Structure 1
Amino acid sequence: MAIAAHDGADRADQLIAITQRLSTLISEEIVAHQENRLDATSQDWAEKEKLAHAYRIEIANIRANPTLLAEASQAQKEELKNTVEAFRELSERHANALLASKEVTEGLVRALTEEVATSRAAPAGYGRAGTVAQPKSSAAHSGIATNLKV
């Protein structure tokens, strides 16, 4: 969904509004994440998706054709530049928070998997020569499937 703008000034105003709204939504999601309210991160999902799609399209269109902002005032262009830069920094903070959460979650799953595999290890038995045979790894028989590829 692209912006339906009358001219460059209107396009700049609309893109500023979209960027500010996305910033608000992402800020709320960061706060929810910090407060461990992970269910709150899915609120407003449809709105975020539509705004992010419109934002991507408009930024790509402006990069391909900078004259789309020709009628925008210098003040509008400066505000747009500052708003987009603030949004970029906020997006990086958001991505870092999500990455940290992902790493913690994966570490917990890995530790649980290893603990279950250890607790279900096969008992030692005797081999053909009468010596104690080491049990084979029971990770494949742990009852928990994990994907250790990162």
Structure 2
Amino acid sequence: MSQDSNPANARVEALIVLTDQLTSALAQQCKAFEAHRPQDAAASMEGVGRMANVYRRESAEVRLQPALVSSASPALRQQLVRSTEAFEAVLARHGRAVLASKTVTEGLVKAVAHEVAATRLTGTGYGPGAKASQAQGTAIALDRQA
């Protein structure tokens, strides 16, 4: 934190710290997803969600009231721009990693469901010559611990 009493400098410094922390946390989650270990990313989801909500509120407030940061030093404002650019790059990477993980997970669930359905015996028609169905209902439940 700077030694001066300029509230705009203090606010920009706080935004830089928040943005850098959020960027770092998302980068760690990206590494987990890319290493095919989404369970490692899940451990930090709650904290990242809280930081993201604070970031969203703070950035919305600055967007609505630019005067809150306009009197900050140009060097600090430039540092905030660089931090924001890094955040946006990691956010795009995170989006791709989450989408890839989601696609793989959905594919696995569909494959399991297909295999379960294929192993069931089903009835073969109606009428006197029909064979009885021996199919049993099967459900798959996934939870966060899986």
Superposed pair shares fold, TM > 0.5: yes
AA at the equivalent of 2:40: A
CA separation of 1:43/1:108 partners in 2, compared to 1, >3 Å: closer, same or farther? closer
C-alpha deviation, 1:36, in angstroms:
2.6
Alignment of 1:86-125 (within 5 A): 86-124=86-124
* Residue of structure 1 in register with 2:144 after alignment: none
Q: Which runs of 4+ in 1 moved over 4 A?
A: none
Q: Distance in 2 between matches of 1:46 and 1:6?
A: 33
1:54 corresponds in structure 2 to 54
Structure 1: runs of 5+ lacking an equivalent = none
User: 127, 135, 143: which one pairs with 2:138?
Assistant: 143
- In the other structure, the counterpart of 2:127 is 128
CA shift in 2, pair 1:42/1:129, >3 Å:
closer
| CA–CA distance in structure 1, aligned partners of residues 60 and 7 of structure 2 | 17
The TM-score normalised by the length of structure 1 is: 0.77
State the Cα RMSD in Å: 2.6
More deviation, 30-39/76-85: 30-39
Aligned 8 A contact 1:113 1:142 in 2:
no
Contact 1:16 1:79 in 2 (8 A): yes
Structure 1 residue 40 and structure 2 residue 40: aligned? yes
- CA positional deviation for 1:103: 0.9
Residue 6 of structure 1 and its aligned partner are, at CA, apart by 6.0
Counterpart for residue 84 of structure 2: 84
Quote the Cα distance in structure 1 between the aligned partners of 2:46 and 2:118.
43
TM-score with structure 2 setting the length? 0.79
Aligned residues: 136
